[in-house]
Amino acid sequence: MNVRNLCFLLLMLLASHALARGVYQTPEAFLDEVFDATPPAPQVLWLKGDIKVTAEEILGHRYPGLRIRYWGGDQRTAWILEEIGKEKPITVGLVVNPQGMELVRVLEFRESRGWEIRYPFFTAQFQGLGLTSTRELDQPIDGISGATLSVRALKKLARLALYLHQQTEFSRDPAP
Amino acid sequence: MKYRSISPLLLIGLLLLTTRVSAESQPAPSIEELWRIIQAQQAEIEALKQQQAQTEQKATDADEKAEAAVVAVEESASSSSGTGNWADRTTIGGYGEVHYNNLDGSGGEDDKKEIDLHRFVLFLGHEFTDDIRFFSEIEYEHGVAGEDQVGEVEIEQAYVEFDLNDRHLARTGVALLPVGIINETHEPTTFYGVERNPVEKDIIPATWWAGGIGLHGQIAPGWGYDVVAHEGLKVPGMNDPDFNNYKPRGGRQKSGKADAEDLAATARLKWTGLPGTEIAGSIQYQSDITQSEDPTAGSAWLYELHTVIERGPFGLRALYARWDLDGSGPESIGADEQMGYYIEPSYRFFNDKLGIFARYNQWDNAAGNSSDSEKQQWDIGLNWWPHEQVVLKADYQFQDNDDGREQDGFNLGVGYEF
């Protein structure tokens, strides 16, 4: 391969646009997609008492906030949560319904490694998962070599969203 | 009981009678008096309305103040989002491991009964902007460094990284080379065995870092690439008193006034398109493995292929690596071909808290001739993670080397990362 061909190959690589590090979807677009373009007004779940303690147990550290916003309707709740992978927070949108986890989507990834967690081939593993009595995911998640910390962060956020959903009115059966 | 039920009725009757008598005893108010009463009541109602409005305004103000306080607290707590001040943009981390080796030597090999602070590592990083960042890793090995001491201090990483776009980045400085499984990811919590596997150590050789410049990124979903131009090996040649049979491990220059007469290049393609599966291959070209110091040696190629599979509790690692060295010098002692491979199945229990593994390693730094230079080592053991960032390890190793020089026994270790 001569220098010209090598330069051409490099330019082709640099010109491609599939995202790795960056914003994949804005929270607004995520909510529009989840709620058919008419997201409900956000609600607030205060982190106090048992909820605060359990959230800390799941994350392994204190949640950086006093409350968590969420959006709910028809026994579904949507959450936009953040957790640090290795150094930077990963922003994730999660939707929980009565059957368990409905959707996990990485909205923003800020680190140089571990970007593979954004792909549907990985996040699809979370669909339908619930919590065990010890608040672990009830099915194993196959990780990604070299992205251990990012995978770990996503698993924590899935557990947190499933638990928080249980604390909202949307987890209860609607009145007959 | 009868008395108690009648008594309230009597009381009510007496009250009604008294009220009626009292009302009949006072004259009815005039219209003017009624008007004054109504006006007074109206004024009182207006005053109450005003008071209520003021109360509601105060409640609204209190809500807004509480909201502002909560937002301020949350913003302060979540300042790690990467857009904050200098401290927010600076990160530290690290890992370390302490080993106890209890190995019996045979065939002329020494015993190894040691307690060793094998590695103490600190990471320091800083993000200048969202697209430009610095990362470094300083490593202390074997506890004590200095003249005539067993340990050493090494800077294994010190590079600046530039995001070219959302898919590709450039890295320049001193960085780990993209080859093998543990060369880039070697925190003790991430691999089985107290000691790192001998194949990557003696063939690749991990840990291997070099100064240079590289492009890294992805070319399609699940497909990652790395291309790096970097300092080459400087393997002591036959004219060197430290001659080490052209083993790559002895040729790492570690970016310490590294001889850059003959550069090298490494490329890797990695596929992670299936959860729990990685397949990757690297190829490296050394323009002169002795930096032109040994006229009987010359260029060299490294080929490496590996897979990492983690499906549920099952794990499997397998790696093959091979060097081809040009020149009559390496060929004369069989070092023109150096190769090794290992395979490591594993299984995790108790919600990933405990894992067991077995590993078979075979390697030969003089595979180019029929000399008795092949080495084999079995490792079996377990890892226990009491916390996801802390690991306790135990394993047993036994060797079967062609030259009969072997070390067999057990190893214990503790490791951490943060």
Q: How confident is the model over B227-271, as pLDDT tens digits? A: 999 999 999 887 777 787 899 999 999 999 999 999 999 999 999
- Cβ–Cβ below 8 Å for A145 and B221: no
Partners of residue B74 in chain A, C-beta under 8 Å:
64-67
B269 within domain boundaries: yes
- Cβ–Cβ below 8 Å for A122 and B313: no
| pLDDT (average), residues B169-189 | 96
CA distance A94 to B102: 50
CA distance B363 to B123: 32
For residue B393, give its domain range: 98-417
One domain for residues B114 and B27: no
Short-list A111, A159, A109, CA closest to A136: A159
Of B80, B114, B137, the position where a domain reaches its end is B80
Chain B closest CA to A160's CA: distance in Å?
17
Nearest CA in chain A to B70: A66
Confidence of residue A149 (pLDDT cuts 50, 70, 90): confident
Query: Number of A:B CB contacts under 8 A?
Result: 107
B194 versus A120: the higher-pLDDT residue is: B194
| pLDDT (average), residues B335-353 | 95
One domain for residues B205 and B56: no
- Cβ–Cβ below 8 Å for B81 and A144: no
- Cβ–Cβ below 8 Å for A21 and B169: yes
| pLDDT (average), residues B103-132 | 94
B209 within domain boundaries: yes
One domain for residues B116 and B50: no
- Cβ–Cβ below 8 Å for A145 and B310: yes
Partners of residue A10 in chain B, C-beta under 8 Å:
215
What interface predicted TM-score (ipTM) does this complex get? 0.72
Confidence of residue A145 (pLDDT cuts 50, 70, 90): confident
Q: Burial code of A16-44, b = ≥16 C-beta within 10 A, e = fewer? A: eeebbbeebbebeebbebbbeeebeeeee
Domain count of the fold of chain B: 2
Query: How much is the pLDDT for B359?
Result: 98
CA distance B73 to A124: 35
Give the pLDDT confidence of B351-380 residue by residue, as tens digits: 889 999 999 999 999 999 888 899 999 999
| pLDDT (average), residues B313-334 | 95
Query: How much is the pLDDT for A17?
Result: 44
One domain for residues B37 and B152: no
One domain for residues B225 and B315: yes
Of A19, A121, A146, the CB nearest to B278: A146
Confidence of residue B167 (pLDDT cuts 50, 70, 90): confident
Chain A closest CA to B36's CA: distance in Å?
50
CATH number for the domain including B271?
A: 2.40.160.10
Chain A closest CA to B261's CA: distance in Å?
21
| pLDDT (average), residues A9-32 | 70
B182 within domain boundaries: yes
Tokens coding B18: 């008294």
Query: How much is the pLDDT for B300?
Result: 97
Q: Which site among A11, A61, A87 would you substitute to test the B interface, given the most B Cβ atoms closer than 10 Å to its Cβ?
A: A87
| pLDDT (average), residues B324-338 | 94
CA distance A56 to A49: 11
Say whether pLDDT at A18 is over 50: no
One domain for residues B72 and B108: no
B85 within domain boundaries: no
B89 within domain boundaries: no
CB atoms within 10 A of CB B247: 19
Partners of residue A88 in chain B, C-beta under 8 Å:
80, 82
- Cβ–Cβ below 8 Å for A142 and B164: no
One domain for residues B285 and B355: yes
Q: Is A68 exposed, middle or buried (0-12, 13-18, 19+ CB in 10 A)?
A: buried
Partners of residue A14 in chain B, C-beta under 8 Å:
164-165, 168
Location of structure tokens 């709740």? A77
Partners of residue A87 in chain B, C-beta under 8 Å:
91, 93, 125
One domain for residues B45 and B131: no
φ/ψ of B235, rounded to 5, equals: -75, 130
Say whether pLDDT at B200 is over 90: yes
One domain for residues B309 and B406: yes
B1 within domain boundaries: no
- Cβ–Cβ below 8 Å for B78 and A82: yes
| pLDDT (average), residues A15-37 | 79
Confidence of residue B14 (pLDDT cuts 50, 70, 90): low
B378: β partners: B360, B398
Predicted TM-score (pTM) of the model is 0.78
Q: Which range among A9-18, A60-69, B15-24, B336-345 has the greatest average pLDDT?
A: B336-345
DSSP structure string for B276-345: TEEEEEEEEEES-TTTTS-TT---EEEEEEEEEEEETTEEEEEEEEEEEE-SHHHHHTTTTEEEEEEEEE
B117 within domain boundaries: yes
One domain for residues B186 and B58: no
Of B77, B168, B185, the CB nearest to A146: B185
Confidence of residue B136 (pLDDT cuts 50, 70, 90): very high
- Cβ–Cβ below 8 Å for A13 and B225: yes
- Cβ–Cβ below 8 Å for A142 and B278: no
- Cβ–Cβ below 8 Å for B78 and A64: yes
Are the C-beta atoms of residues B289 and B297 closer than 8 Å to each other?
Answer: yes
Of B22, B50, B80, the position where a domain reaches its end is B80
One domain for residues B175 and B62: no
Confidence of residue B67 (pLDDT cuts 50, 70, 90): confident
| pLDDT (average), residues B274-302 | 95
B148 within domain boundaries: yes
- Cβ–Cβ below 8 Å for A144 and B185: no
Confidence of residue B80 (pLDDT cuts 50, 70, 90): very low
Chain A closest CA to B250's CA: distance in Å?
27
Give the pLDDT confidence of A74-95 residue by residue, as tens digits: 899 999 999 988 878 899 999 9
Query: How much is the pLDDT for B70?
Result: 73
Say whether pLDDT at B170 is over 80: yes
Query: How much is the pLDDT for B22?
Result: 54
Average confidence score pLDDT of chain B: 90
Give the distance, in angstroms, between the CA of residue A9 and the centroid of all CA atoms in the same chain.
35
Confidence of residue B81 (pLDDT cuts 50, 70, 90): very low
Chain A closest CA to B346's CA: distance in Å?
14
Of B49, B80, B111, the position where a domain reaches its end is B80
A102 versus A147: the higher-pLDDT residue is: A102
In chain A, pLDDT over 90 holds for what percent of residues? 60
One domain for residues B183 and B156: yes
Helix, coil or strand: residue B191: coil
- Cβ–Cβ below 8 Å for A64 and B77: yes
